[in-house]
Amino acid sequence: MKLLIANWKMAPETPKQALVLAKATVAIAKKTKKHLHLVVCVPFVYLTSVHTSVRTLVLGAQDVATTTSVASTGKISAPLIKGTGATYCIVGHSETRALGDTNETVKEKVERLLEAKLNPILCVGEKERDSHGWYLSTVKDQIESALGGVAKPQLKRFVIAYEPVWAIGSTATREATPAECTEMIMFIRKILVDMYDEKTARVVSILYGGSVSEENAEAFVTDGGANGLLVGRVSLQSKRFAKLAERISI
Ligand code: PGA
């Protein structure tokens, strides 16, 4: 079973469009349910309406507050996310790291999600690749920090998404290759084995994300060894997203 996560980011613009997209996405989920577990991370403002109208869609939020204090204007806490019916939440996405998230705040967010019994989708990835392999230590630090206080039984709640920053979004410099994906997935698995043990490390799904399309998706899960994919832009285009889902339903 592969895990496919859609990250709608800050789109679409209207509740009506969100509902249309959610309905198209649930049709994709139904069609591929033998092979795929589909999770859709929608903007906070749509979580409740999408959940009430499309009950079978598995939902996630895209970020969470580090605090549960009510005196936090503009923030959304883990219990509030839980109350919408969402079961997953992205944490440590490079776009929220760029806006100020540090390894320390990501760790706090992870703790809040676990307290609320939500499943963290922990995003990690280097800004650039260097020929000395320093990018490996960036990813290692991100994981060791985020999982620092996470006990063995809680690890099974986690999804880790490797998203090299240089391959994400419309400003991507290039696509990652399946070989680069394999290398990092093996490296992440080894970090988990060292922090926990082999049996525990095995249950964590490690995904690839960054300019995934219907064209390159299959290579990341077959040659690249990813347990699934985290998809941004293409998840907003139902026809392309349906094709993508179909191609990894193998
Ligand atoms: P992209 O975004 O698929 O549009 O590159 C992926 C992500 O940022 O999660």
Per-residue pLDDT of 102-117, as tens digits, reads 999 999 999 999 999 9
- With the most atoms of ligand 1 within 8 angstroms of its CB, the residue from 233, 236, 240, 241 to mutate is 233
Is the pLDDT score of 250 beyond 90?
Answer: no
Under 8 Å between Cβ of 185 and 222: no
Is the beta carbon of 168 within 6 A of some atom in ligand 1? yes
Calculate helix-pair angle for 44-53, 15-31, nearest 10 degrees.
60
Is the pLDDT score of 44 beyond 90?
Answer: yes
In this prediction, what percent of the chain has a pLDDT beyond 70? 100
Is the beta carbon of 235 within 6 A of some atom in ligand 1? no
- pLDDT at position 213, please? 97
Q: Ligand 1 centroid to 69 CA: how many Å?
A: 31
Q: Ligand 1 centroid to 71 CA: how many Å?
A: 32
What superfamily would CATH give domain 2-248? Aldolase class I (3.20.20.70)
- Compute the residue count for the chain: 250
How confident is the model over 162-170, as a mean pLDDT? 95
Q: Where are the domains of the chain?
A: 2-248
Is the pLDDT score of 45 beyond 90?
Answer: yes
* Average of per-residue pLDDT values in the chain: 97
Q: How far is CA 150 from CA 2, 109, 232, in A?
A: 24, 12, 28
pTM here is 0.98
Is the beta carbon of 96 within 6 A of some atom in ligand 1? no
Cα–Cα distance, 22 to 38 (Å, whole number):
12
Is the pLDDT score of 17 beyond 90?
Answer: yes
Which residues are catalytic, by number?
93, 163
Is the pLDDT score of 57 beyond 90?
Answer: yes
How confident is the model over 28-40, as a mean pLDDT? 98
Is the pLDDT score of 141 beyond 90?
Answer: yes
- pLDDT at position 54, please? 96
pLDDT, one tens digit per residue, over 183-239 is: 999 999 999 999 999 999 999 999 999 999 999 999 999 999 999 999 999 999 999
Q: Ligand 1 centroid to 176 CA: how many Å?
A: 12
Choose among 217, 233, 188: nearest CA to 21.
233
